[in-house]
Amino acid sequence: MTVLNQDSILGGFIARQSKGKRPIPLKSTAYSVEVLGGIALVSVTRVFRNDESSPIEATMTFPVPFDAVVTDLVTKVAGRTLVGKAASKAQARETYENAIDRGKGAVLHEELLRGLHMVSVANVAPGAEIEVATTFAMPFSHADGNWRLRIPVTVGQIYGQLPLPDSDAVLTGGPVEMAEFTVSASSGTVLVSGQSVGASGKTSVPLNRPIEIEIVGAAFGTLHGRAADGRAVKLTVGTASAGEGDLTADIMADTSGSMLEPISADLEAGLTKWDVTRASLISAGKRLLTSRDRVRLWTFSTQCREIGNVPGDRFEALVRECPFDNYGTELPGAVAKVTAHGRGKNVLLITDGKSGKRIDVQAAVATGARFTVVLIGEDALESNVGYLAAMTGGQMFIVHGGDADVAIMAAVASMRSVASPAVPFEGAPKSVDRVIGGTRIAAEWIEDADDAPGRDAAAARIAAYAAGIALAGMAEKDAASLAEAEGIVSHLTSIVLVDEAGESVEGIPSTRKIPLADPATSMLRSSGFMAKSMLASGAPAMASRSANAPSSSLRRSFAAPLVASSVASFSAMSTSFMDEEPPMRGNGIDEALERLGRRVGGPGIDMVPDRVRHPMNGFRNPGDGLRDYVDARTLAPLIEWDRDAGALSTGDLSGQAPHVQAVLARIASIDAVRDLATSLGKSALLVAIALTAKAGQSRAAGRIARSVLAGADADRLRAAENAIGL
């Protein structure tokens, strides 16, 4: 373990020294929050600048609150203001890619997963600066008499791969920046991350931990908006009432290794997520559960197991004896096991949500289960579990700092109430009534309401938010039409704009993916905080179980960030990828090493001009025939498409690894490839790059293929593709 720590420290130093080879194009971030009757309108303004000598595409994948509705996109460039327009996801992407092909500036905002979005800014000319502002509307949650709102800004280490291509995946490890933050509210006292902002409402916030807003003594009521079809929209926000009936519930507690991470970056707290979860469950059992209630406790990590099934007045004792597993996070399997145990369940899921594997939400819905979720930890991930709660008619409560007891008690109280799932309906929405995070939201669309406001910015955003919560009950075709009309980013629609009046740029832009900062809690984890917390934890079996756990699982929970750091450092020293982008996006030791092997070609792929190793069939000699070992599908993942797309589109391979250059040269020597190149009037090497790009999983690769192979004869193209294994 000592050697690993030393390697990590050295690797981190080398990685830091290697950063800055290409400037990060995000120059500033600012938040402006307007609180209107229980709904927050959050505007995020980001300024992008290209400090390189050739055009770039700046991309950024970032979290958005699960219950938020993104309502508009505005860009300022060269003194001009451009407003985005919603379109179907496919159409918006096509518009964006077409603009890139024509050299025009463009901006695209898409939802990759619910709670995870991506902004792409294309064809930023050298020296140019672009301001991109997006706005989302979201409700405050209500618990313990106060109104709270959490804006996530980071994504913690995810266990398992999110279902995203590399070009869309979250990138972390960026510098910790400060953002300007302004908030205004018509009533109550506003606290930002626990501190009063005073009369000005202005402060600054670090972008390595969630932005938490609390309003004490707020008076919320009815808001008025104007829909795109001209109807008035009335939106009423208030507290949800708790039920009084007896409770029969299954409680699922996450006991994976990530739950040993600190609950907060506040060092004085000294508590892990599991410490706080365990204490909060005991508190909720004492204060809210009775002998008439029946509670079954489950824990899950790599496996899901039942701990016990007891009356509510015996739940405290059950929690006190609950063991801690400290293994991986198999959240989908745990959800499937608990729902399969009996239909119509009322389930409370307590987790940090850091599993990249998709939960089979439709299967859970089919069992009639209702999932209420408590999301815990500053680096928690809302995507999977938020969708589970929304689709099964439950709610999601998010822990703010160490106040898990408030969130868990609010969640238990909400489970006694009647569920409020999305109710299917046909045509345009007329009324929607939902409960979200302890807040009841009722929307009503009214014909011929003369006293409704005009469709100004605030009125349009209120209407867009109402439409956003209505989408879940609509047929896909109707939902897509409504989202497009109201200008919403959703699972069906994106917002895109093209700067047609701006000057065109030459060449294909190289992609610069902007990294999020690592969560503040990750610094504590890597400094040994996790180990100290584990030994100090009150869970009776935690320390002994961890000490006796298989070395691989123990190493995975504590050392994965250190191994990831070492791998990133190794990549920084390699001439193959001297960029700010780390070589792997996998999580855990095995995935990190496997990813590293793919990027550098693996131990056996040391390609030289006269002998090349085929990854599947061992060494092949040139006499065996080029097709035996020249395989574009195998080669494509080894090419740095995004890093220098402009150079690749001209046939310049100087930024690529030697073994990549060698194989591309061999592809260029194939007769069918040379024939295609001659017909296009381009070099065989450039055509070899473009053909290989067709097998790439990068958007930059697709742009290179389109640009170089445009107008190719279909028969010649097919022959060349066959010759290289496409």
Within a domain: 138:
yes
- Distances from the Cα of 419 to the Cα of 343, 360, 369, angstroms: 15, 20, 10
Q: Give percent of the chain with pLDDT exceeding 70.
A: 77
Query: Helices (H) and strands (E) in the chain — how many of each?
Result: 22, 32
Q: What pLDDT sits at residue 380?
A: 76
The H-or-E segment that residue 700 falls in is: helix 699-709
Nearest to 344 by CA among 324, 366, 328: 366
Q: Would you say residue 143 has pLDDT above 60? A: yes
If one compares 187 and 451, the residue with the highest pLDDT of the two is 187
Same domain? 97 vs 119? yes
Q: Which residue has the tokens 């439409």?
A: 467
In a domain, 122, yes or no: yes
Is the pLDDT at 636 greater than 70? The verdict is: yes
For residue 480, being part of any structural domain is answered with: no
Same domain, 289 and 349: yes
Residue 322 lies in a domain: yes
Domain boundary among 415, 447, 467: 415
pLDDT at 402: 58
User: Domain end: 415, 431, 466, which one?
Assistant: 415
Strand 129-139 to strand 439-446: parallel, antiparallel, or no bridges (unpaired)? Answer: unpaired
Based on the structure, what is the number of domains in the chain?
3
Residue 458 lies in a domain: no
- pLDDT at position 706: 92
Residue 368 and residue 253 in one domain: yes
Asked whether residue 176 falls in the same domain as residue 265, the answer is no
Assigned domain for 469 exists? no
**Same domain, yes or no, for 286 and 395?**
yes
Output the six-digit token pair for 225: 């908006």
**Average pLDDT rounded to a whole number, residues 453-458:** 83
Tokens standing for residue 423: 């109710």
More confident residue, 622 or 258: 258
Same domain (yes/no): 235, 252: no
Distance CA 1, CA 595 (A): 22
Domain boundary among 351, 383, 415: 415
**Cα separation of 36 and 581, whole Å?**
40
72-98 per-position pLDDT tens digit: 999 999 999 999 999 999 999 999 999
> Is 177 within the bounds of a domain?
yes
Mean pLDDT, residues 205-212 taken together? 90
Main-chain phi, psi angles of 469, to 5 degrees: -80, -15
The Cα 71–Cα 499 span in angstroms is 20
Cβ–Cβ under 8 Å, residues 142 and 438: yes
Q: Long-range contacts for 96-101 (Cβ within 8 Å, ≥24 apart)?
A: 96/120, 96/122, 96/496, 96/498, 97/699, 97/702, 97/703, 99/123, 99/498, 99/499, 100/57, 100/508, 100/509, 100/703, 101/703, 101/706, 101/707
Q: Does 612 score more than 70 pLDDT?
A: no
Confidence (pLDDT) at 182: 95
pLDDT of residue 615: 39
Q: Looking at residue 341, which CATH number applies to its domain? A: 3.40.50.410
Minimal CA–CA distance to 725: which of 601, 629, 661? 629
| pLDDT at residue number 466 | 95
84 in the same domain as 221: yes
What band does 628 get if pLDDT is binned at 50, 70 and 90?
very low
Q: What is the CATH number of the domain that holds 53?
A: 2.60.40
Residue ranges making up the domain that contains 405: 248-415
**Alpha-carbon 501 to chain mean position:** 33
Query: 238-247, pLDDT tens digit by residue?
Result: 887 766 667 8
Query: Same domain, yes or no, for 230 and 260?
Result: no
pTM (two decimals) = 0.74
610 by Cβ neighbours in 10 Å (0-12 / 13-18 / 19+) ranks as: exposed
Residue 299's SS3 state is strand
Over residues 579-608, mean pLDDT = 33
Do 160 and 278 share a domain, yes or no?
no
The pLDDT value given to residue 91: 97
pLDDT at residue 36 greater than cutoff 60: yes
The predicted structure's pLDDT at residue 605: 30
pLDDT digits (tens, 9 = 90+) for 14-32: 444 444 467 899 999 999 9
Beta-strand runs (E) in 114-177: 116-124, 129-139, 141-143, 146-151, 172-174
Task: Identify the CA nearest to 38 among candidates 219, 195, 213, 182.
Answer: 219
Shared domain for 252 and 235, answered yes or no, is no
* Residue 40 β-bridge partners: 35, 138
Residue indicated by tokens 């990831």: 564
676-689 per-position pLDDT tens digit? 999 999 999 999 99
Whether residues 231 and 375 share a domain: the answer is no
Residue 217's contacts (CB-CB under 8 Å, 6 or more residues apart) are 187, 188, 189
Distance CA 96, CA 94 (A): 5
User: Is 124 in the same domain as 227?
Assistant: yes
Instruction: With respect to residue 209, please indicate whether it lies within any of the assigned structural domains.
Output: yes
Residue 461 contacts residue 135 (beta carbons within 8 Å): yes
Instruction: Tell me the average pLDDT of the chain.
Output: 78
Local confidence band at 159 (pLDDT 50, 70, 90 cut-offs): low
Q: With a cut of 70, say whether residue 595 has pLDDT above it.
A: no
Question: At residue 567, does pLDDT exceed 70?
Answer: no
Per-residue confidence (pLDDT) for residue 434, from 0 to 100: 82
Are 181 and 28 in contact by the 8 Å Cβ rule? The answer is: no
pLDDT of residue 364: 84
